[in-house]
Structure 1
């Protein structure tokens, strides 16, 4: 009688019964990690700062804009890919302003438009892409978007292009 020869471990049924759940866990966890990294939450770009374990909102820019009586009207001309801003208030009108369009869900779609002064209180700029649906607007005299916390004042608003092409900008009230 011939003795059965031992099979290699990878040809044994019981080896795969033990390894299959472990391999499945590795595959599913790597897929979950890749989804979490690819679709991570966007950061909040506003005047919040972290102090210990709490986040605090600084409304100094809004208070300064309110004290100066600043308000603006933004008019988009979608066919010409242009934007016109009428700024009113008791301030020295800078030569350029920054208009930030923040998408409500995707930070990658945010746009920063540098506006040049046409006349006192009237500014214009070019919109690089076609805009649809809803956007948050922020107007400030600081031209570097990374230094938005250093701006002396800011005006905020919201526009829904499905409803119109103009929106008012005002200081945020707390």
Structure 2
């Protein structure tokens, strides 16, 4: 009473193992094509040269004795600028870059209020690791820092001297 092979358990079990790997491979390929990884730079040499320019802007902030304090709540990020040798509170370009989710990045131009504070309205609270950069509108100096949010205490942003 031998059954034909296609009615037995073991041949189908042995076929199912590599078959499941093929299905999983197609699923993985579809995930990778839908969710493009944007962390790798196309022109890493040009980016590396740009880092040196960033360092010079950080050193310039130290020469001018400029620093900033950042405090963030659920709906607002507030910068208090210590302007050092600057004659007035400048217009700032402020960038929040999320480490892994580029669609959450925030870039804005902000002017100081009457008290010398810069406020940014947030669409959603800042959560997780962020890279924060404050640039003078004319690009002459910059401050930056990596920050994990939420942070209960204000965080100080520096030029090059923090390292």
- State the TM-score, normalizing by the size of structure 1: 0.62
Tell me which residue corresponds to 2:9.
Answer: none
More helix by share: 2
Among 75, 82, 86, the alignment partner of 2:76 is: 82
- State the TM-score, normalizing by the size of structure 2: 0.65
Q: Structure 1 residue 63 and structure 2 residue 51: aligned?
A: no
Q: Is the 8 A contact 1:82 1:126 kept in 2?
A: yes
Structure whose CA Rg is larger: 1
CA RMSD of aligned residues (A): 3.2
Structure 1 Cα separation of the partners of residues 131 and 100 of structure 2: 11
Q: Structure 1 residue 157 and structure 2 residue 151: aligned?
A: no
Deviation at 1:164, TM superposition (A): 2.1
Q: Structure 1 residue 166 and structure 2 residue 154: aligned?
A: yes
SS at 2:92's partner residue? strand
Q: Number of matched residues?
A: 138
Q: Is the 8 A contact 2:72 2:150 kept in 1?
A: no
SS at 1:69's partner residue? coil
Tell me which residue corresponds to 2:94.
Answer: 99
Tell me which residue corresponds to 2:121.
Answer: 126
Gaps of 5+ in 2: 1-20
SS at 1:158's partner residue? strand
Q: Is the 8 A contact 2:72 2:151 kept in 1?
A: no
